[in-house]
Amino acid sequence: MERVATPGSPIYAVATFGPFTIEPATSVVQVTNLFASKTPASPAAMLSWTRPTTPDSYLIERSIDGGPWSRFVIEVGDVAQGGTAYLWRDVTAPAEHDLTYRVRPVVNLSMGEAPAEASVRLDASFIWLADPDDPEWVLPLAGNEAGSWTLGEDSSVINVLGSDRSNLVHEGFRGYEGSVSGVFPPSIREVSMTAQELRDRTWRTKTQPTHVWRLAISDMNIPVVVRNVNPVPQGGPQVRIGVSLDFYQQGELAWDEDA
């Protein structure tokens, strides 16, 4: 069925874009003093650098274990530290993997050449919940941390008439889902927060059931929603707050990345 012809307007048009290459511009001043680091107070990789003048934005590239480069477009206001210094927290970085970073300034739609690379490897300490919208917000599950999770799926067993075996039909695959738990001691030196402050942060996660957080556990860092968040006092001579929660992965599935 064709669209009704209208004077001055084509009946049908198709625009096709072929492969293209973006060439860095040598005229764009590169960043200097690029340095990647880790901190026991956060599950994020910390990337710092300097640049004498302010660009329009930054393009940050990350490679995991020498694999393909992922790219993040960062607004200057989100990383500026004053003067010529910049700091970016990568709350999506997985622990126990070799992470390599490059930073390219973008000026007037021109991208700077890649500077020297910076690398870091994060430690899988604690179980962390981080907020991608507020990289300084973290919630660590420390002593006695534990978890149980699996890759969810929906499937049905079909018994075929006259057959000596059953067929398993998969209707859908989900990401990781399960539960984690841990304890807030009276204070955690690594994050400089009291158990009460950590409990207040836990209440925040309970009041935002649709918010997507980052769960850093073992060598994974995945987007999740959380349910059944329960901070409860623990017995003993010191004030201890235990917490447990259920989580459900939201995107970034391994089979989607390989497709």
CA distance 104 to 33: 13
Report whether CATH 3.30.200 matches the domain 139-258: no
* DSSP three-state, residue 43: coil
Distance, in Å, from the CA atom of 214 to the CA atom of 253, rounded to the nearest integer, reads 14
Q: How far apart are CA 190 and CA 27, in angstroms?
A: 43
pLDDT score, position 172: 76
* C-alpha–C-alpha distance, residues 226 and 214, integer Å: 10
Q: What are 188-237's pLDDT values in tens digits?
A: 666 777 777 888 888 889 889 999 999 999 899 999 999 999 888 776 66
- pLDDT, one tens digit per residue, over 186-198 is 556 667 777 778 8
pTM of the model: 0.80
Whether the pLDDT of residue 121 is over 80: the answer is yes
**For the chain, how big is the Rg over CA atoms in Å?**
24
How much is the pLDDT for 12? 67
Instruction: List, by residue range, all CATH 2.40.30 domains of the chain.
Output: 139-258
CATH T-level topology, domain 32-123: Immunoglobulin-like (2.60.40)
Specify the higher pLDDT residue, 155 or 67: 67
- Determine the Cα angle at 185 with ends 181 and 188, to 5°: 105
Q: Give CA–CA dist 157/171, Å, rounded.
A: 11
150 - beta bridge partners? 177
Phi-psi region of 195 (alpha: psi -120 to 50; beta: other; left: phi over 0): alpha
What pLDDT was estimated at residue 239?
66
- Strand 166-184 and strand 146-159: the pairing is antiparallel
Query: Which residue spans of the chain are classified as CATH 2.60.40.10?
Result: 32-123
Cα separation of 231 and 183, whole Å? 9
